[in-house]
Structures are given as structure tokens and as C-alpha cells.
Structure 1
Amino acid sequence: MSVLAAVAARLPGVSRVLTGKNHELLKFATVGAITFVIDNAVWYLLKLTVLEDHPTTAKGVGILVATIASYVLNREWSFRTRGGRERPHEAALFFLVSAAALVVNVTPLYVSRYVLGLHRPHVDLFTQEVADFFSGSVLGVGLAMVWRFWAFRRWVFPEDVSESPTGVPRP
């Protein structure tokens, strides 16, 4: 029995039904929480040290590191029962979807910094950091999360892959 199933068995009725119906979403959200911490740790480490003048680049690097962790965790846990694609094909699709998500994720940060001018010397350090966190880690991550969950279920880890990439039915 999985840990999630054991927890769900102890939950009251409505919670148990919600957990059962949305187990993939809950696992995906857990992976998202873990990779959120990885992304932000790398982002702030780089942003406050070697990439101080390039916060968007630092955010991109944080996202890339978190994406690698995300693939392993989503493949082996969140969407373990889905798929049927060969791993190289699946990984290519995963990283293609994640590349699009990276653009979605950094766009609010870019707009905040370079369109709205929410950076020093135009605003104080506190305002800059709050704007960076909200645009890069709240708004950007939220938009990218919605995109990833939909795209992963649709293309990367589909419910059933009954045909090969060449259109020939799988045995």
C-alpha cells in the first residue's frame, strides 16, 4: 500500500474521495512544492552572488535545475502508472514542455523588472525583492504549473499510448 493510499484511508469521507480522484494532482503538487524550493534556493543563491545583475538569468538556471528534479520525480512517482512511451521520446517531450514553461515562468519577472521598472534604483531594495518574488515565484510558477500539469497529462504521460510514434498499434 502506498503512503498516499495509507493517508487517504485515514481521511474522513469527502477528503478520501477528493484524494482518490485527484491522486495525480496531489502527487504533482507535492513534486511542485519540492521543486519550488529547489528553484528558489538556486535562484536566490545565484541572484545574491554571481548573477546579481542578471536576476532573470538566475531564475532560468534555478528553473532548469528544478526541471531535472521534476522529471525524475514525476516519472517515477506522480505519473508512474501512465505512459508507455519509450524513455528518450518521453524525456524529449517532457523537456520541450518544460522549455515552454520556463518562458511562461520568467515572463512575469521580466515584465516586472524591465517593463514596469520594479528594480533598483527606481524602487527600494525591499520593493524590488517583493516584486521579484511575486512575479517570479508566485505568478510565474502558478502559470507554468497549470501549463505543465495539462501538457504532461496530454502529451508526456498520456493515459494510454496505444500507437507507436509511427502510427503502428503497439502489441
Structure 2
Amino acid sequence: MNLIVTFSKDLIFKFIRFGIVGISGIFVDFGTTWLLKEKVKIHKYVANSCGFLLATLTNYLLNRYWTFQSHDPKAFQQFGKFFAIALVGLIFNNLIIYFLNDKLKINFYLSKVFAIVAVSLWNFFANYIYTFAA
């Protein structure tokens, strides 16, 4: 496992693709949550969890085949790594929002933007080094 990340064109293209996949994940997450909460009338935390899980699954598949072009036959184990990193990212996200919004009184949505940027960097490099390492 190469722990030193060299900044190459390949890494930059992967980061851009990872960002595009992440944006699609936001739509999957918010769309699923809204649909389940507002239309199906499922409890907001259940709806939110379903949105998170579906976005994580679609993000994994898109990142596996498009961003990192992985052909690792151990897809289930690879998804487990991806999911674990996503859960750590979710914890980071909530902690950042809590600190910025609740403690420093920064606007919630501005706090969320900071959290998304920080967690996106965590998610990309953790997946690059651990989940999709060649």
C-alpha cells in the first residue's frame, strides 16, 4: 500500500470524477430522503438513513467502475471498506457542523459547506489509499 500520494494528472482526474460522483450522490441522498419523508411519510431519520445508504451504494458503484476503474474481484469486501470510510465521513461531517454551527454560531448551511469540503477530501484520499489501492 503506497501511503505517499503523488499528485499526477491521473490523481487529479480521479479527484474530479470522484467529485462528480459525489454530486450525483447528493441528488440520490436528498431525492430519496425527500421522497420517503414527504411522499411516503416515513420518519425523517429512517428516510435520511435510506437516502444515505442508497447514495453510498450508488457512489461506490460509480467510483468502482468509473473513477477508480477497479477490477478487484472482492467487490463485497471493497464495498465494506468504502462504507466504513463513508460512515467515518458522516461522523466527521456531523462533528464539523456541530462545532461550527452550535459552538461558533456560524450559519448552518455555511457550516455544512465547510463540512462537505473537508469530508470530501477525507473520503477521496481514504478511498484512494485504502479501498481502491492497486
Confirm or deny a common fold (TM above 0.5): yes
Cα distance change of structure 1 residues 111 and 38 upon mapping to structure 2, 3 Å threshold: farther
Letter in 2 for 1:22: I
1:62-77 equivalent positions in 2, closer than 5 A:
62-77=51-66
**Which has more helix, going by share of residues?**
2
Higher relative contact order (CA 8 A, sep 6+): 2
Cα distance change of structure 1 residues 58 and 132 upon mapping to structure 2, 3 Å threshold: farther
Alignment partner for residue 143 of structure 1, among 97, 118, 124?
Answer: 118
Q: What CA distance in whole angstroms lies between the structure 1 residues aligned with 2:127 and 2:83?
A: 10
Instruction: Give me the identity figure in percent.
Output: 23
Q: What CA distance in whole angstroms lies between the structure 1 residues aligned with 2:118 and 2:52?
A: 14
Secondary structure of 1:22's counterpart equals: helix
Contact 1:59 1:106 in 2 (8 A): no
Gapped runs of 5+ residues in structure 1?
Answer: 1-17, 119-130, 161-171
Gapped runs of 5+ residues in structure 2?
Answer: 1-7
Q: Per-residue deviation at 1:64?
A: 3.0
Partner of 1:110: 98
Cα distance change of structure 1 residues 67 and 33 upon mapping to structure 2, 3 Å threshold: same
Partner of 1:167: none
1:127-166 equivalent positions in 2, closer than 5 A:
131-136=107-112, 138-158=113-133, 160=134
Tell me which structure has the larger Cα radius of gyration.
1
Cα distance change of structure 1 residues 142 and 85 upon mapping to structure 2, 3 Å threshold: farther
Contact 2:92 2:115 in 1 (8 A): yes
What is the number of residues matched between the two proteins?
123
**TM-score, normalization: structure 1?**
0.57
**TM-score, normalization: structure 2?**
0.70
Map Cα deviations across residues 128-171 of structure 1 (whole Å, 9 max, x no partner): xxx332223x122111100010001100001x2xxxxxxxxxxx
